[in-house]
Structure 1
Amino acid sequence: MPAADTHRLASALALLQQNAHPEALEGLARFGITGDKRLGLSMPEIRRVARTLGRDHTLAQALWDTGIPEARIVAGLVAEPAQLSSRQMDAWAKGFASWDVCDQVCGSAFLASPLAWRKVQAWASHRDEFVRRAAFALLATLAVHDKQASDEDFVAALSLIEAAADDERNFVKKAVNWALRNIGKRNPALNEAAIAAADRIQRQGSRPARWIAADALRELTSEAVQARLKGRGQRKNHPAPA
């Protein structure tokens, strides 16, 4: 690594160390936030470090290579999404070892990558727990933030959700449920499609499928969600005057 890049990495790690809270690790572990090299930073602190550093794709990879969970989250925040290669995304996904790193990187660098939808498809049937979680965490995030995606894109993704609904692993099961709920809250048409998918999942009969379906149906059919979607539909049909 060139000297300038080595200095950038050292400076970034020093910023992380300055904000370390080792006394917080025990509490974080109770929420499944673990890792041998974890420093105990909060997400606001991690974001402040990332803002200080700015976009730097070379630094992002160097931070990732440290194996420090907080450094890997910063890597997702300072990476240039357009520069992420398919191989790099696969390597990072295979390196996920905790749900927070997985979800944060999916919600930052991976979300903005032109390869995002392709990776949802590729990872949805992966054997590794966190790679498979990444598929559905990314899909859940796309359902909220990808304003260009069509309803057809999400309807097609429901088949991936149905296929993964029998996975008993906790971090997969929760991400599958998350994606289903977010798709169903996107608009009235997708709410109807997601409820139908949840009904089919419930009929699969496995324990994880029943939990995924029941939890999703409880939210997607709730008065609060239905009222919000109805209001959204009315605003779409009757836009405010210019």
Structure 2
Amino acid sequence: MHDMTLAEALGELAALEDPKMRAANEKRGDDHGINLSRMRAVAKKIKTDQPLAQELWSTGETAARLLALLICRPRDFTADELDAMLRETRPPKVNDWFVNYVAKKTPLAEEMRLRWFDDPDPTVAAASWSLTSVRVAKDPDGLDLPHLLDLIERNMKDAAPRPQWSMNETLATIGIHHPSLRARALEIGERLQVLADYPTAPGCTSPFAPIWITEIVRRREG
């Protein structure tokens, strides 16, 4: 099979467009109308294709960008390309997939984490906190965890929604993976009450850090 062209890939996406799905997605800020499992099927057909991924990304269209994130090769992006892409990930699903499928998978993850850490753009700062959570869980050596807790304690309450969510994830990750800091993480979560009233579906764990930490620790140690 020949490599799929940009026009063919956009044609496949257009054929999947569903007005009802678009209406539901747009309520969440995602301006596309495609069932994501169908989009994944298109990506599976294409496999990995970095040149096509870059063409899809440069259309600026949400559906095309989501497909690009599924077929790209994260290690092929330069630091400046990653930085530019992140700054354009306004729709929530594009942001989520970029952080999870590209930023967390690139060999430049630590370089980007540091580069993005104090960025004034909340989307950029949030990505840094997401990468920090990965390090807290998998590779904490060299991280100043008490200092991270200081920053969360000082800044999380008034942070914009994206960095607030990511800081909260780091808070919970510290509490779950580092027993010596668990009491402090729980205390910060209780005092700040960030996401305490977040609606949580039955069977799911609340993102409120004290509940999240306690539940995961119970499961791991149970």
> Aligning the two structures, in what range does the TM-score lie when normalised by the shorter sequence?
0.7 to 0.9
CA distance in 1, matches of 2:190, 2:113: 23
**Cross-structure match for 1:155:** 145
1:134 pairs with one of 120, 127, 135:
127
CA distance in 2, matches of 1:27, 1:157: 41
**Cross-structure match for 2:6:** 9
Matched, 1:33 2:29: yes
Uncovered stretches (5+) of structure 2, i.e. residues with no partner: 198-207
**Cross-structure match for 1:66:** 59
Asked if the contact 2:74–2:103 (Cα under 8 Å) also holds between the matched residues in 1, the reply is: yes
Asked if the contact 2:174–2:185 (Cα under 8 Å) also holds between the matched residues in 1, the reply is: no
- Residues 67 and 167 (structure 1), Cα distance of their counterparts in 2 relative to 1, 3 Å cut: farther
Asked if the contact 1:165–1:212 (Cα under 8 Å) also holds between the matched residues in 2, the reply is: no
Over the residues paired in the alignment, what is the CA RMSD in angstroms?
A: 3.0
Uncovered stretches (5+) of structure 1, i.e. residues with no partner: 204-208, 232-242
CA distance in 2, matches of 1:163, 1:59: 43
**Cross-structure match for 1:21:** 18
Asked if the contact 1:129–1:171 (Cα under 8 Å) also holds between the matched residues in 2, the reply is: yes
- SS for the counterpart of 1:168 is coil
Asked if the contact 1:60–1:75 (Cα under 8 Å) also holds between the matched residues in 2, the reply is: yes
Higher helix share: 1
**Cross-structure match for 2:201:** none
The amino acid across from 1:44 in the alignment is S
**Cross-structure match for 1:234:** none
CA distance in 2, matches of 1:158, 1:194: 13
Q: Deviation string for 1:89-130 (max 9, x for gaps)? A: 001011111221111111112211011122122212211122
Deviation at 1:170, TM superposition (A): 1.6
Asked if the contact 1:143–1:154 (Cα under 8 Å) also holds between the matched residues in 2, the reply is: no
- Residues 96 and 211 (structure 1), Cα distance of their counterparts in 2 relative to 1, 3 Å cut: same
- Residues 167 and 83 (structure 1), Cα distance of their counterparts in 2 relative to 1, 3 Å cut: farther
CA distance in 2, matches of 1:139, 1:150: 9
Number of aligned residue pairs: 210
1:79 pairs with one of 54, 65, 72:
72
Q: Deviation string for 1:152-175 (max 9, x for gaps)? A: 548378356456424432222122
**Cross-structure match for 2:93:** 100
- Residues 73 and 181 (structure 1), Cα distance of their counterparts in 2 relative to 1, 3 Å cut: farther
- Residues 83 and 180 (structure 1), Cα distance of their counterparts in 2 relative to 1, 3 Å cut: same
Deviation at 1:194, TM superposition (A): 5.3
**Cross-structure match for 1:226:** 217
1:177 pairs with one of 156, 159, 168:
168
CA distance in 2, matches of 1:156, 1:109: 28
CA distance in 2, matches of 1:157, 1:33: 34
Deviation at 1:151, TM superposition (A): 5.1
CA distance in 1, matches of 2:49, 2:107: 18
Deviation at 1:78, TM superposition (A): 1.3
- Runs of 4+ in structure 1 over 4 Å off: 151-154, 159-164, 200-203
* Most deviating of 127-136 and 49-58: 127-136
1:45 pairs with one of 38, 43, 51:
38
Q: Deviation string for 1:10-39 (max 9, x for gaps)? A: 111111111111222222233x233xxx33
CA distance in 2, matches of 1:76, 1:194: 35
- Residues 47 and 89 (structure 1), Cα distance of their counterparts in 2 relative to 1, 3 Å cut: same
